[in-house]
Amino acid sequence: MKVAVFGSEGQLGVELVRVFNERGHQVRGFSRRSVDICDAAQVESTVAAMEADLVLNAAAYNKVDVAETEPQVAYAVNGLAVRNLAVACRQSDARLVHFSTDYVFDGMAGRPYREDDLVRPLSAYGVSKLAGELYAQAYCDSALVLRTSGVFGPAGVRTAGGNFIESMLRLAAKGQPLRVVQDHVASPTYAPELARVTADLVESKQTGVFHTGGGEAISWYDYAAKIFAKAGVSPELKPTTEREYRTPARRPKYSALENTRLAALPIKAFPSLDEQIALYFQNR
C-alpha cells in the first residue's frame, strides 16, 4: 500500500513510519512543518498527489491544560483537521486510521472502559478529540479509530512534548521530592507496540472504534515507581491526589482502556507494562 503518515515526527508517528516500511509498504511521512492538516486544500492535494491507499493520522494537539484557554485551537487540530483528512480520504478512496484518547471518557465507571461505553469528555481537549472521532466516522465508512492512553516511545527523548517517563527522570535528577497523583488511573502504552498493533489491525481490514491501551490499569504514582525502579534511581516519591494537585483541565480519574475488540482477534496482545517499560529503556 501507499501509506501517508501525518504527524510523522511524533512519538507514535516515527514508529508508524518504521513499522509500515518494515512490512513492505510505500510510506511517506508528513510533519507539521511540511503539511498543515488544518488547511483542507493542502491536505486533499497531498493525499491525491501520492495516490494514498491508507492515511494514518498521528498528528494532534496534546496540550491538555492549555486547551482550556484556547479551545478553538485544540478543536481546529483535533476536530476540524480530522474532517479535512477524512474528506481527502473519501475523495481518493483511501482508508483512514485516526488515533484518539482515553480522555473521551469521564472516568466515573471505576473500571477499564470498553469500546461501547458511553463517552463523556470533561475537558476542551477531550471534546476536541471526540469531535475528531465523529468526523472520521462521518466521512469514511471504513475509518479505523484507535483510542489509546499515555503513549510513550523512544522518540520522546528528543520531541518537544516528551512523555511521562522523561518528565519523571528529569524531575528525579533535580534531587527534590516528587509528588504524583495516586487517584488517577490510566493504561500507559508503548508507541512501537501501538504501531505494531495498528499495522495488524489495518492488514486484517478492521474498521470502527478499537481500544488500544497498553493493557494494564495503573495509577500514575505506581507507574512512576515502576519507572524509577527500572531506571535504578531512588528519588523521594510521595503520593498526592487530584484535590491537592489541581490542574486547569479536568481529567478522568479512571480512564484505563479495556482492549475488548482487540482481544477477540487473532492479534498478539500488548506485552506487560513491565516489559513495555523495559523495552523503552532498552531503545531510548
Task: Count other Cβ atoms within 10 Å, centred on residue 91.
Answer: 12
Active site residue 125: yes
84, 229 contact by CB (below 8 A): no
- The 10s digit of each residue's pLDDT in 218-251 is 999 999 999 999 999 999 999 999 888 889 999 9
- The 10s digit of each residue's pLDDT in 24-77 is 999 999 998 999 999 999 999 999 999 999 999 999 999 999 999 999 999 999
205: which DSSP letter?
T
Catalytic residue selected from 125, 190, 223, 254: 125
Find the length of the chain: 284
Query: Where does the pLDDT of residue 156 fall: very low under 50, low under 70, confident under 90, or very high at 90 and above?
Result: confident
Task: Count other Cβ atoms within 10 Å, centred on residue 203.
Answer: 13
Domains, the chain, in order of start with CATH, read: 2-156+183-218+249-283 (3.40.50.720)
Give 180's strand partners.
Answer: 239
